Every structure is written in C-alpha cells, then in structure tokens.
Amino acid sequence: MAQDIHIQRALKHLRKADPVLEKVIRKAGPFRLNLRHDRFQALVHAIVSQQISGKAARSIWERLKNAAAPMSAATIRTLSIDELRKVGLSRQKAAYILDLANHVGDGRLELRRIGRLTDAEVIDALVAVKGIGVWTAQMFLIFSLGRLDVLPHSDLGVRMAIQRLYGLEELPNRETCHRIAEPWRPYASVATWYCWRSLDSL
C-alpha cells in the first residue's frame, strides 16, 4: 500500500514536471513493476542473461534451476565450473556465478541487509562481484529493491527512448541523459520504466 502511494506521487510529479513524459504516461497506462524478491536468484539471472538472446537465457536458466535446486548460494557452491557449463553457461559466466555465490556464502555480500544501504552503497557492494557492473546493479536497485530514483543512463533502451522522445539527432551521452532526467527526480526509475514502454510502439 505504501508503495502504491509513492507511485501515485511519482506519476503526479512526472506529469507536472515533464510534458513529454506526460504524453507517454497517458499512452502507456498504469505503472506495473513486479519486484524480484529472491535477491540471489535475481543476480544469478542477470548474469545468465548477459549478451545472449532472451530465448537462450530462459533455456539456460531453467536448466540451472534444475541443477541447483533449490537455488541458493549454498547449492551453487556445491557445483564445479564444469557442472555449471553443462547447463549451457560459458566458462566465464560459470566463474561469475560461483564468485557471486562465494561472496554471499562467506558474508562479503549480505543480500538480506543490502536494502538498508544507499543506492551508491548497493552499487559499490555489487560491482565487487565479478561479472556485475553498474548497469546490472542499477537493474537490481529497480527490480529487486524497488528504488524509485535510479537512472540507468548507459541502458540502450533508455538512450533510444530519450533520443526519440526529445528529438535528439544522436543517442544521448551520460551528461545529456542526466540533464533531461533532472525534472524526473526523485522518481527517475518510474520515468525510466515509461521510457522503456515508449519503445513498444516503435
């Protein structure tokens, strides 16, 4: 219920602050974000999905869930690189997932307590894991922790949407994204979601 109130405030703010986004909100309809409550699985899934098609990622993910059931840092740590590769992971991704499991398992990354950290602290904690960069950490902030003011300025979809919506000649860089997004604060995550939705009509 509290989250619903925050979303209503966010939509009211964005409609008033940005006429361009107001049109997107009107066309796209209600804001819907299904949070991924299992934080470990969310991060593993993010690593699995890097730089491959959605279909391939789904196939590998299902095989990995079966191999490591019930999936947790503890079960992943019982598997070797070669066993992880058998589900379709590259050697590099298998190493990344094991590194994540080790960080969680030995307490270097406390996922149960990570929600108490600031956005910047969450990003710092996550990028210490091999295979997790700033973009993946930002997706975790939005889709697992439900943080409302995250702007993934390097996300290609966000950049494409900003270019199209604001009539730019080329894809915006970091500085341009943040300048355009300034009126969105403190609800940049909600605005980002609508940027993604605006691409659905392309």
How far apart CA 194 and CA 161 sit, in angstroms, is 9
Establish whether 38 is a catalytic residue: no
**Separation between Cα atoms, residue 136 and residue 29, nearest integer Å:** 26
DSSP 166: T
Nearest to 84, CA basis, from 107, 106, 100, 108: 100
**DSSP state letter for 64:** H
Contact 195, 165 (CB under 8 A): yes
DSSP 8-state secondary structure symbol assigned to residue 188: H
- Pick from 98, 70, 73: nearest CA to 83: 98
Q: Which listed residue (38, 106, 119, 155) is catalytic?
A: 155
Catalytic residue positions? 155
